[in-house]
Amino acid sequence: MAKKAPRRTAERILEVALDLFNRFGEPNVPTARISAEMRISPGNLYYHYPAKDDLVNLLFDRYERALAELLQASDGVRDVEDAWFFLHTLFELIWQYRFLYRDLNDLLSRNRRLELQFQQVLVDKTQAVHTLLAGMGRSGTLAIDAREVEAMATSMVVLLTYWLSFEYVRDPRHALEPGSAQTALLRGAHHVLHLLVPYLDAHQRLHLLGLAGAYHGNGP
């Protein structure tokens, strides 16, 4: 049991850091705040993670692994309902690691590793959206000119990447609190999917309006 304690402490530090980063923003959480929250000495935290960037990088690695697995599901999207589920699940993962998106520009300016890896995240998201669009096109639920696909994929990825920042600007005191999660995620998924409305068949457009009823009246 004694040999497992350091690993458990290291894992707990990550859990607490993620919670604090999400609640207050990574730039506003010094390592002393994390150690105080855990009631351990700063030296104990330093033993496991000598720099705050070590915590950020490890949390990002976990996000990236989960994202890579999730994006594979884009291959199974055939209609609006599939796309809605896929996008909502993607937003749930983004919410789980929302500090990355809340403080994205600041993080990238200070962390060279994240600067490079987040570029790959954008590439992977864009490829997944291309796959989603292609699947809906093959099933006949979406008709979009091939010349418009690249711009559409980019627009969808921009919304996926900066939606939570938009939510935060709208209501800085409450938008990224746990109680706001469901509304923010539903709203984000709807607005990304709404970009496809001009290219959906009539039945799929009506279906999307029905799905949007989950948060009707809460939109900006």
Backbone angles phi, psi at 151, to 5 degrees: -65, -40
Phi-psi region of 217 (alpha: psi -120 to 50; beta: other; left: phi over 0): left
Which pLDDT tens digit goes with each residue over 135-164?
A: 999 999 999 999 999 999 999 999 999 998
Domains and CATH numbers, the chain: 1-50 (1.10.10.60), 52-215 (1.10.357.10)
pLDDT-derived band at 2, boundaries 50, 70, 90 = very low
pLDDT tops 50 at residue 90: yes
Which pLDDT tens digit goes with each residue over 8-38?
A: 899 999 999 999 999 999 999 999 999 999 9
Residue 169's pLDDT is what? 85
pLDDT tops 90 at residue 185: no
Q: Using CA atoms, how far apart are residues 131 and 125, in angstroms rounded to an integer?
A: 10
pLDDT-derived band at 213, boundaries 50, 70, 90 = low
HSE (CB half, 13 Å, CA atoms) of 19? 11
